[in-house]
Amino acid sequence: MSQAMERYSYDVVVIGAGGAGLRAAVEARQAGLSVAIICKSLFGKAHTVMAEGGAAAAMGNVNDNDGWKVHFRDTMRGGKFLNNWRMAELHAKESPDRIWELESWGALFDRTKEGKISQRNFGGHEYPRLAHVGDRTGLELIRTMQQRIVALQQKDKKEFGDAEKFIKVFSELTITEILKEGDRVSGAYGYWRESGDEVLFESSAVVLATGGVGKSFKITSNSWEGTGDGHALALKAGSALVDMEFVQFHPTGMVWPPSVRGILVTESVRGDGGVLTNSEGRRFMFDYIPEVFKDKYADNEAEADRWYKDQNNNRRPPELLPRDEVARAINSEVKAGRGSPHGGVFLDVSSRLPAEEIKRRLPSMWHQFKELADVDITEEPMEVGPTCHYVMGGVKVDPDTAAAVGVEGLFAAGEVAGGMHGSNRLGGNSLSDLLVFGRRAGAGAAAYVKSLAQKPKVSDGEISRAKNRLNAPFSGTGGENPYTLHQELQNLTQDLVGIIRTESELTDAIVKLDSIRDRSTRVRADGGRAFNPGFHLALDLENMLLVSESIAKSALARKESRGGHTRDDYPKMDSEWRQYNHLSRWNGSKVEVAPEEALMLPKELLELFELDELKKYFTQGELAKGGM
């Protein structure tokens, strides 16, 4: 079957039109390059719109004690010091500029009394730090970026008579292959979801900004797009993924009704005073404050409640512990039989704030529960439980340029990139991550393209390889239904590679993943190529399988518990393990995971912490050296 093929040529191809992708595109355009923006769905629908709470940036608008160093410290603590320190440093330093820049593009954040951008409290952040718009900050961010792209196109139209001379948005197009000449990127190949027609992009640089992998799990806050496309593309192109074992389960997803299970309940509910209780009515989070956080979190209700009014003289309520801690605590309560009727715990804001205030501060939460669950959160508590939310692991990149290791011309930013968040991401650090590293990836790609003497060529062999992959779901022997396989995969990862892991289950998972992969070669799509979801899923399935394999194997290798990786058989965090990252690579038939030595912080950053705190994370030997 020979399918129509369109051919385009751009300086940079950005795969993904969420916050990171759009920010990268803006930067590359501003550097004078032509950019293709690829969206898997319609322009402006990317998963960024789901972000609720805010974007963390140490602007110090609400508490002027805040600054990049404090933000850096919080980020490293949240990630249990496994973060790539340079990324965390760049992120903390640059995020205020990225937020302010949004404002000059038309974003309208909530304001302080002085008219500055208001900032709210969030788990793991020492000071109020999240720029926000009610609880729909992600929507504001994506819409602003979308409108910024349109503004640049309008300028090009004025100047050159063609709005799409430099930036063109390709909506509802999926990329299935990165094309290479030798070790260098030469383009990308994909298909229009609408028609099934194939598209070739000739381009020396590709920026991956494809977001997360949540759709590999059964209970997830991610939309259908979160199939790990960028992770898989990078693996297959010869790059490496770092720390894929770290998957963040957001502590508060909806648990009922079943059809909305997993949909996010924003952390702002807790930031604004909401408390977690079990079936006995007890605020159980006081029982789960880990040793390393004892001096930062209140151990009694009175102090915790005072904190909302006076943050300088009281410790924070334990509901605002980093997400991994809260998710594990909820998990334990439910397992101990103290859960809510539908297998979660209670999150109550109704007894804490007046109804009007709840509706003003948390309008979309009120709306979401009212319309989806028939629950009025101003009158009764919500039922919540952990949901797969974010993957900390991702493409290993150079912090300053976002260049992916191992493949020249490949860049990655946002959730698809790894390292920034270490073993656990703080809420609010994702939106700022998108902007900081989206910009850096755009600049990195632009600099790379300009440095090339010659544009790499796309060979016919590469094209036919890409074509074959697209034909596979129609030419296979058949017998397997993509929907069924997807469901089996989701159940498997949820049960065996989920929030709590053990060696035997992980080993079992790897074997089962292998058998699903084998069956996936016999997946057959019914019907034609035009807007055929069965065909789309058949192709996405391979990406999810690769990602799940990478997660399972990395998780098996890490014999400790840290952040978004909890091992029942190794329940303690172990400083020895902080010295290693796990790198996943693709050998042509399966994913291989190998340890790599983790970076030590440089002296000046190490000195931002008290020695007593560092002792909890680093080995004696490391500390004796006193940093890099």
Contact residues for another protein (CB under 8 A)?
A: 41-45, 47, 49-50, 96-97, 100-101, 103-106, 108, 110-111, 114-116, 118, 133-134, 136, 139-140, 143, 147-148, 150-151, 153-154, 157, 163, 171, 194, 223-225, 256-260, 263-264, 364, 367-368, 371-373, 481-484, 525-528, 530-535
Distances (CA, A) of 434 to 51, 402, 412: 12, 12, 10
Cα(97)–Cα(87) distance, rounded to whole angstroms? Answer: 16
Helix, strand, coil percentages for the chain (3-state, nearest 5):
40, 20, 40
Give the C-alpha separation, 604 to 333, whole Å: 41
Tell the smallest beta-carbon distance from residue 101 to another protein (Å): 5
Backbone angles phi, psi at 140, to 5 degrees: -60, -40
Helix axes 229-237, 533-557, angle to 10 degrees: 70
d(CA 22, CA 211): 12
Cβ proximity to another protein: between 50 and 392 the closer is: 50
Q: Is 47 annotated as catalytic?
A: no
What's the token pair of residue 90? 């760049």
| DSSP 8-state secondary structure symbol assigned to residue 457 | P
Q: Which is nearer to another protein, 2 or 104 (CB)?
A: 104
Q: How far is the CB of 483 from another protein (least distance, A)?
A: 4
User: Least CB distance from residue 326 to another protein, whole Å?
Assistant: 21
Cβ 149 to another protein shortest distance, Å: 10
Hey, what amino acid is at 349?
Answer: V
Q: Of the residues 98, 125, 261, 270, which is catalytic?
A: 270
**Which CB atom, from 501 or from 536, has the smaller least distance to another protein?**
536
Question: Please, what is the minimum distance in Å from the beta carbon of residue 109 to another protein?
Answer: 8
In this structure, the dihedral spanned by the alpha carbons of residues 212, 236, 423 and 510, taken in order and rounded to 10 degrees, is 100
Q: Is 132 a catalytic residue?
A: no
In the complex with another protein, the residue whose CB is nearer, 221 or 554, is: 221
Smallest gap, in angstroms, from Cβ of residue 342 to another protein? 10
Q: Residue 34 or residue 387: which is nearer to another protein going by CB?
A: 387
Query: Quick one: 365 or 463, whose CB is closer to another protein?
Result: 365
Hey, what are 512's tokens?
């089962």
What backbone torsions phi and psi does residue 184 show, to the nearest 5 degrees? Answer: -110, 145
Helix 137-160 × helix 429-451 angle, to 10°: 30
CA torsion 230→233→236→237, rounded to 10°? Answer: -110
Residue whose CB is less far from another protein, 78 or 228 = 228
Rounded (5°) CA angle 69-395-495: 100
Catalytic residue among 250, 421, 524, 585: 250
Residue 32 backbone class (left: φ over 0; alpha: ψ -120 to 50; beta: rest): left
Please name which of 119, 20, 135 lies closest in space to residue 60, comparing C-alpha atoms. 119
CA-CA distance, 235 to 579, in Å (whole number)? 23
CB of 583 to another protein, least distance (A): 32
C-beta atoms surrounding 234 within 10 Å = 34
Q: Which two tokens stand for residue 22?
A: 């759009």
Active-site residue set: 250, 270
